Chain A
Amino acid sequence: MMKLLDITKETCPMTFVKVKLALARMDEGQELEVILNAGEPLENVPRSCEEQGYEVMSIEDCGDDKHRIIIKK
C-alpha cells in the first residue's frame, strides 16, 4: 500500500526532514506519495530523493500551487 505524506503545511527544513524520515522507515520497493507546495519544496524534494538513489516516478500538478509526487524507494 502506498504511503501518503502531506507537507503542504510544513516549512523548511521540516519539508525535507519529514520526507527523508518517511522514506527511511519504508521498505525497499515501497512507494511514497508526497503532496507539496510549489517553490522550494517542489524544486528540492524530488532532487534530494534522487540523490539518495530513490526513483521519482511522477510529478503531477494538482492546482492551487500544490503538486503530487510519487517516490519509489
Chain B
Amino acid sequence: MAEQKKDVTIVCFSGDFDKILAAFTMATGAAATNRKVTMFFTFWGLNVLKKKQGRAWLGQGVMAKVFNFLMGGRKNLPLSRLNFGGISPSLMTGMMKKHNVATLPELIEAAHALGIRLLACEMALHILELERDDLIEEVADVVGVATFLNESENGHIIFV
C-alpha cells in the first residue's frame, strides 16, 4: 500500500543558476519518489520560465523592457558566487556533463515529464509587464499568492 507523503512546494524566487539547479533537483527527486510537487516562480525566478531563453526586450514600457533585457532568460542565469562575468554557468554545465549530473535543461524536461506543476506569480508578471504568452507552454497556470498558499496548505514549502 502506497504511503501518503506530504506534498512539496518550492518557491523559486531566486534566478541564480545554482539555486534554480538545486530547486529542480529537489523537485524532480521529490516527484520521482512519489510526492506531488509544485514549483511557484516569482520575480527573478520567472527568468527560468521565459520562452525567450536569451536577452529580450519584453514588456511595453521602457523600464519593463530594460529590466527584462537585463534580467535575461534561462541562458543568462548567473551563478550566485564566482560568476566571472557570466561565464561560470557554462563552465559549471561542462563540469556537470563530465560527471554525468543532469543539466538544467534536462532537469526542466524531467520536471515536465514527471508532472510537476509549474506556476508563475501573477503579481511579478504584472510588474515586469510579461504576458502568459511570454512564458513556456509547460507553465500550468498564472496564480496569485492565495492560490499558491491554498495549494500548498498541507505540504512542505521550500523557499529558494
Q: Which residue of B1, B26, B33, B113 is within 8 Å of A16 (Cβ)?
A: B33
The reply to whether the CB of B29 lies closer than 8 angstroms to some CB of chain A is yes
The reply to whether the CB of B63 lies closer than 8 angstroms to some CB of chain A is no
Q: Is the CB of A51 within 8 A of B110?
A: no
Interface SS majority for chain B: loop
Chain B residues whose C-beta falls within 8 Å of the C-beta of A13 in the assembled complex:
25-26, 28-29, 32, 102, 110
The reply to whether the CB of B160 lies closer than 8 angstroms to some CB of chain A is no
How many B residues touch A, CB cutoff 8 Å? 20
* Closest Cβ neighbor of B30 among chain A residues: A13
The reply to whether the CB of B2 lies closer than 8 angstroms to some CB of chain A is yes
Chain B residues whose C-beta falls within 8 Å of the C-beta of A21 in the assembled complex:
110, 113-114
The distance from the CB of B32 to the nearest CB of chain A, in whole angstroms, is 4
Q: Give Cα A17 to B26, complex, Å.
A: 11
Q: Is the CB of A17 within 8 A of B101?
A: no
Question: Size range of the interface on A?
Answer: 10 to 19
Chain A residues whose C-beta falls within 8 Å of the C-beta of B31 in the assembled complex:
17, 20
Q: Is the CB of A10 within 8 A of B29?
A: no
The distance from the CB of A55 to the nearest CB of chain B, in whole angstroms, is 13
Q: Give Cα A39 to B100, complex, Å.
A: 17
The reply to whether the CB of A44 lies closer than 8 angstroms to some CB of chain B is yes
Chain B window 1-40, contacts with chain A (Cβ cutoff 8 Å), 1 for yes, 0 for no: 1110100000000000000000001101101111000000
Chain B residues whose C-beta falls within 8 Å of the C-beta of A14 in the assembled complex:
28, 102, 106, 110
Q: Which residue of A9, A11, A20, A53 is within 8 Å of B32 (Cβ)?
A: A20
Chain B residues whose C-beta falls within 8 Å of the C-beta of A32 in the assembled complex:
none
Q: Is the CB of A16 within 8 A of B100?
A: no
Chain B residues whose C-beta falls within 8 Å of the C-beta of A10 in the assembled complex:
100
Q: Is the CB of A11 within 8 A of B99?
A: yes
Chain A window 4-15, contacts with chain B (Cβ cutoff 8 Å), 1 for yes, 0 for no: 000001111110
Q: Is the CB of A52 within 8 A of B99?
A: no
Chain B residues whose C-beta falls within 8 Å of the C-beta of A20 in the assembled complex:
31-32, 114
Q: Which 3 A-B pairs have the closest CB atoms?
A: A13-B29, A16-B32, A20-B32
Residues of chain A touching chain B, judged by Cβ–Cβ distance below 8 Å, are 9-14, 16-17, 19-21, 44, 48, 51-53
